């Protein structure tokens, strides 16, 4: 079976050197050493241009050199992307092309004569313009989350290649369930991987998984050691995404749905796929985008021959990063520091524009003050906690009520508890403590009606162990509701 895994490396362009040092030590260096040692490992990765520059600036040149050598050896391929990690569907076509071109130029600077074939849109964010632009820029394929295949999870046929309608441009879709099982440390050995992939192993399909590189070692200490133990599974042949089309020839045309890798079906149905970056009910988001538009217009009005133009343009490029919008979402992500940093970058860009009109500068300061004052006020008054709780309440449908509260389904509830308890003990005996903790937490949440659909990773594994028609029927009903609401990342909005 062919398995293409994708790792996404990303840090903001102004990341603090001590934080970068920790991430490099805990995550990046162990991952790259693991690739070097395991000759059967072939991966597709994304490292945006801004991170290459950070690694170079703060003395982590060994990482860059190792990546360069692995590319030469054909062990890894690096995708194109947007240099400063903006959410591309929220930008103009001019800015989209600029960010992509800047990224490709930076890759060439550090990797030599290298032209990426594949493309990763930050957050796997997609709309119809993205496909047309990246095809025009010479890319051959794109990776998206599986929800972009038809607007719901579970519709991907991994025995064929997808391509954009009326083109030869390929699209590969990430399998959410398996990606999240690995990222969540539910799968952390050959045995649990094979158990989780029973259905896939029965077919001749390929599989594509995708996840954040920082998960391994930084966000989840110790998980970096598991990564290569899982990869070292002889039942799979690890390939790069570009290699898949060598083995699977049948093609199907598709017009991918507008989404991100965190979108739920309900998000798509409600037209709020980009809620975490542009929530129509979030006044801070509104001001952030108005501020961005104000500064962009002033940048566009500059004479490109002005000696300050390149400085101002670079500041604007960095200010378009998606981070400060995301951290202002409060559903549930929130950081006063990141919100202020993004607003300051916009104001700083405006201040560096020669002869900017006083009224424009005043308007920019007004946006900055509104954003920061409102953010502090929301935090001080408890509004942020209320917003976070409201989002969680939307997703809470207790499994206990859906089983014990339904005539004839009482045995389903108790069967789940008994099986989870058994699996918890078995996982602990094997030393798979993250999985044991998952079972423990799932049991507690089911008993106390605190589950917010994050028990679904557990249910994915339980379902293959309870040969009971009523249990399977209940799982399907529960999953149908779950998949409409749940996004595509383990640590996600409302999760």
Q: How many whole angstroms separate alpha carbon 455 and alpha carbon 457?
A: 6
Q: How many whole angstroms separate alpha carbon 495 and alpha carbon 489?
A: 9
Question: How many CB atoms neighbour CB 463 within 10 A?
Answer: 17
Give the helix ranges, DSSP H, for 115-242: 128-136, 176-183, 190-196, 198-201, 223-231
The pLDDT of residue 79 is 98
Segment-wise mean pLDDT, segments of 10 residues, the chain, 495 residues: 95 95 96 93 96 98 97 96 98 98 97 95 96 96 96 92 94 92 76 78 90 91 83 87 93 95 90 94 97 98 96 98 95 90 98 96 98 95 81 57 60 71 83 78 74 48 45 52 56 42
CA-to-CA separations, 258 to 119, 124, 261, 326, 468, in angstroms, rounded: 16, 10, 10, 18, 38
Q: How many whole angstroms separate alpha carbon 398 and alpha carbon 167?
A: 45
The yes/no answer on whether domain 2-261 falls in CATH 3.10.520.10 is no
What's the pTM value of the predicted model, to 2 decimals? 0.83
The pLDDT of residue 392 is 58
CB 88 within 8 A of CB 313: no
The pLDDT of residue 475 is 53
Query: What are the structure tokens assigned to 405, written together?
Result: 């509260």
Our CA angle for 486, 491, 495, nearest 5°, is: 45
- Chain centroid, CA 407 distance in Å: 40
Question: How many CB atoms neighbour CB 353 within 10 A?
Answer: 23
Taking the CA atoms of 355, 360, 364 and 366 in sequence, report the sign of the dihedral they define: positive
Domain locations in the chain as residue ranges: 2-261, 283-391, 397-485
Q: Which of 124, 83, 86 is nearest to 107 (CA)?
A: 83
Cross-strand bridge partners of residue 312: none
Query: What are the structure tokens assigned to 493, written together?
Result: 């909005």
Beta carbons within 8 Å of 397's beta carbon, 6+ residues apart: 453, 481
> To which residue do tokens 């362009």 refer?
13
Q: How many whole angstroms separate alpha carbon 168 and alpha carbon 179?
A: 27
Angle between helix 309-319 and 93-111 (nearest 10): 100
The pLDDT of residue 406 is 59
CB 207 within 8 A of CB 6: no
The pLDDT of residue 460 is 47
Beta carbons within 8 Å of 209's beta carbon, 6+ residues apart: 3, 4, 5, 6, 174, 175, 178, 179, 182
Question: How many CB atoms neighbour CB 207 within 10 A?
Answer: 21
- Does 332 sit behind a cis peptide bond, omega within 30 degrees of 0 on the bond before it? yes
Q: How many whole angstroms separate alpha carbon 409 and alpha carbon 4?
A: 40
Q: What share of the chain is helix, strand, coil (3-state, %, to 5)?
A: 55, 10, 35
β-pair type (76-78, 43-47): parallel
The pLDDT of residue 227 is 85
Work out the burial of residue 227: count CB atoms within 10 Å of its CB; fewer than 13 is exposed, 13-18 middle, 19 or more buried: buried
């Amino acid at each position: 079976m062919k398995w293409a895994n994708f790792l996404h490396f990303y840090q903001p362009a102004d990341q603090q050197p001590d934080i970068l040092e920790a991430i490099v030590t805990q995550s990046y260096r162990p991952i790259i050493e693991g690739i070097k040692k395991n000759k059967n490992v072939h991966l597709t990765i994304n490292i945006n241009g801004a991170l290459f520059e950070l690694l170079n600036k703060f003395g982590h040149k060994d990482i860059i050199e190792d990546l360069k050598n692995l590319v030469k050896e054909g062990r890894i391929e690096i995708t194109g992307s947007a240099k400063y990690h903006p959410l591309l569907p929220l930008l103009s076509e001019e800015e989209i092309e600029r960010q992509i071109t800047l990224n490709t130029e930076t890759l060439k600077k550090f990797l030599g004569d290298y032209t990426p074939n594949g493309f990763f849109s930050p957050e796997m964010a997609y709309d119809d313009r993205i496909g047309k632009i990246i095809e025009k820029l010479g890319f051959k394929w794109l990776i998206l989350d599986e929800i972009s295949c038809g607007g719901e999870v579970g519709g991907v046929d991994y025995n064929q290649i997808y391509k954009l309608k009326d083109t030869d441009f390929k699209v590969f879709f990430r399998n959410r369930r398996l990606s999240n099982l690995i990222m969540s440390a539910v799968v952390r050995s050959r045995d649990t991987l094979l158990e989780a992939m029973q259905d896939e192993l029965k077919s001749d399909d390929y599989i594509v998984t995708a996840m954040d590189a920082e998960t391994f070692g930084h966000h989840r200490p110790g998980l970096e050691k598991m990564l290569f133990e899982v990869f070292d599974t002889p039942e799979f042949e690890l390939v790069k995404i570009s290699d898949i089309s060598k083995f699977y020839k049948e093609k199907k045309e598709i017009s991918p749905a507008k989404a991100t890798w965190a979108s739920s079906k309900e998000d798509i149905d409600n037209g709020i796929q980009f809620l975490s970056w542009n929530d129509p009910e979030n006044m801070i988001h509104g001001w952030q985008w108005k501020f961005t538009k104000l500064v962009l217009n002033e940048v566009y009005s500059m004479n490109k021959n002005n000696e300050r133009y390149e400085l101002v343009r670079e500041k604007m490029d960095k200010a378009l990063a998606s981070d400060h919008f995301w951290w202002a979402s409060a559903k549930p992500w929130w950081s006063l520091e990141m919100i202020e940093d993004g607003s300051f970058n916009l104001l700083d860009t405006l201040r560096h524009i020669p002869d900017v009109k006083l009224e424009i500068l005043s308007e920019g300061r007004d946006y900055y003050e509104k954003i920061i004052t409102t953010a502090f006020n929301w935090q001080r008054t408890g509004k942020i906690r209320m917003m976070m709780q409201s989002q969680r309440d939307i997703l809470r449908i207790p499994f206990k009520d859906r089983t014990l509260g339904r005539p004839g389904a009482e045995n389903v509830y108790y069967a789940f508890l008994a099986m989870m308890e058994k699996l918890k003990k078995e996982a602990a005996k094997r030393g798979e403590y993250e999985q044991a903790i998952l079972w423990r937490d799932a049991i507690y949440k089911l008993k106390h009606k605190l589950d917010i659909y994050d028990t679904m990773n557990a249910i994915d594994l339980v379902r293959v162990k309870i040969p009971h028609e009523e249990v399977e029927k209940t799982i399907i009903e529960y999953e149908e509701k779950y998949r409409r609401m749940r996004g595509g990342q383990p640590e996600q909005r409302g999760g």
